[in-house]
Amino acid sequence: MTNVVGQAISWDLNEGVIEVALHRSPCNEIGSESLEDLEQLAAALPTLEEHAHALIIYSKLDCGFCAGADLRELYSRSQQMAKADAASGVRAFLERIHHVMNTIDASPLTTIAVVHGICFGGGFELTLACDLIIADKTARFCFPELRLGLIPGFGGIPRLKRDLGNAVVRDLLLTGRSFNATKAQQIGLVSQVVADGQALRVARATAAQLAKFDRNTSAAAKKFIKPIPYDELSREIDIFCELFERPAVEAGLKKFVESTDAQPYLP
Amino acid sequence: MPDQRETLEEILDLAATQFKVSRSNLSPDDDFFKTLRIDSLQALSLLTRLEQHFNIELPDYEMQGVSDFRTLAERIQARL
């Protein structure tokens, strides 16, 4: 299907460009609903790819690109299960989301993440599966997972390590600090920084440029320069699951979910 | 380089503009979460705007526990 409207994510194919829109309130948190839509997209990609040269993923919400994993759903589901079941449920969720991320990462299309506002945790990890990130000046990136006693679990560390120097990765990961689009461009993460509200337009212009090139050549170049670190991605799931079983994580999630503090997103 | 008083004034001007409140309603010792009626995500958007305006990088953990404009100005001044 070339035009799908999901509960959390929709997409359409138009003139060789697949545009994927995130639209789940409050800020595109990735839970089971978003995952199901993403899986549907991943399943549809091989067919869509036959008629496309680029994929753009963006958010329709004012808050930003994506605030990350749906921690409220994660916490409430884990509370309804025995500990062992919760751990296996988390592993199953991670394996499913990794399959989606790997599918996007390995797509022969040139993929562009369009970022404005908040781009945290799992949302940041989704952008890292893409080939290019175009951000407007409101964009803010962060891996806040360590304050919950976790590491990023949607493939973020291996992909960030693939793209950036290890010292930069350590800084972003171990401090959990957020950083703006200018910094993201300085460290080589973001390819273009544009004025507020202009990122999608620029991404479309970039996609139009890509259409001038032979599709198979672009796909070959991408495959050559962007290897997928499958072993490290698999190891990331193991480490996440080991950490998830500790009581400190449950306490951290509880604190976040029940917080009435005005600053829950500040690490 | 602006002095701390000028930095504070610029922060108040920026906050008033970004969150569409009257500048005259903002004071240096206001709790900006309450006065601007913003949550932490909106505070991060203010931080982004301030970083751009002053051309600095201000890690958000330096904002932890900071809720008044005067202390925010001190943090920014230390980076100028």
Tell me: the pLDDT tens digits for A124-145?
A: 999 999 999 999 999 999 999 9
The reply to whether residue B40 touches residue A64, judged by beta carbons under 8 angstroms, is: no
- With a pLDDT cut of 90, the percent of chain A lying above it is 81
Domain of A253?
3-199+211-258
- Dihedral pair phi/psi, residue B57, rounded to 5°: -120, 120
Contact criterion met (CB below 8 Å) for A158 and A196: no
The confidence score (pLDDT) of residue A31 equals 94
The confidence score (pLDDT) of residue A24 equals 95
Query: In this predicted model, which residue has the larger pLDDT, B43 or A96?
Result: A96
- pTM here? 0.93
- CATH number, domain of B58, equals 1.10.1200.10
Measured between alpha carbons, how far is A199 from A59 in angstroms, rounded to an integer? 11
Residue A177 CA from chain centroid, whole number: 17
For the cut 80, the answer to whether the pLDDT of residue A267 exceeds it is no
In a domain? residue A264: no
Total domains in chain B come to 1
For the cut 80, the answer to whether the pLDDT of residue A253 exceeds it is yes
Which structure tokens are listed for B60?
A: 């958000």
Tell me: the pLDDT tens digits for B42-69?
A: 888 999 999 999 999 999 888 888 889 9
In a domain? residue A267: no
Measured between alpha carbons, how far is A23 from A12 in angstroms, rounded to an integer? 14
In a domain? residue A266: no
For residue B63, list chain A residues with Cβ-Cβ distance below 8 A.
266
Contact criterion met (CB below 8 Å) for A175 and B59: yes
For the cut 70, the answer to whether the pLDDT of residue A231 exceeds it is yes
For the packed helices A156-163 and A121-128, what is the interaxial angle rounded to 10 degrees? 50
In a domain? residue A20: yes
| DSSP 8-state class, residue A69 | B
- With a pLDDT cut of 90, the percent of chain B lying above it is 66
The reply to whether residue A182 touches residue B51, judged by beta carbons under 8 angstroms, is: yes
- CATH number, domain of A85, equals 3.90.226.10
Numbered residues of chain B with Cβ closer than 8 Å to any chain A Cβ: 33, 38-41, 43-45, 47-48, 51-52, 57, 59-61, 63-64, 67
The confidence score (pLDDT) of residue A72 equals 87
Q: Give me the residue label for tokens 């509370």.
A: A79
Domain of B12?
4-77
**Predicted interface score ipTM higher than 0.90:** no
In a domain? residue A193: yes
Total domains in chain A come to 1
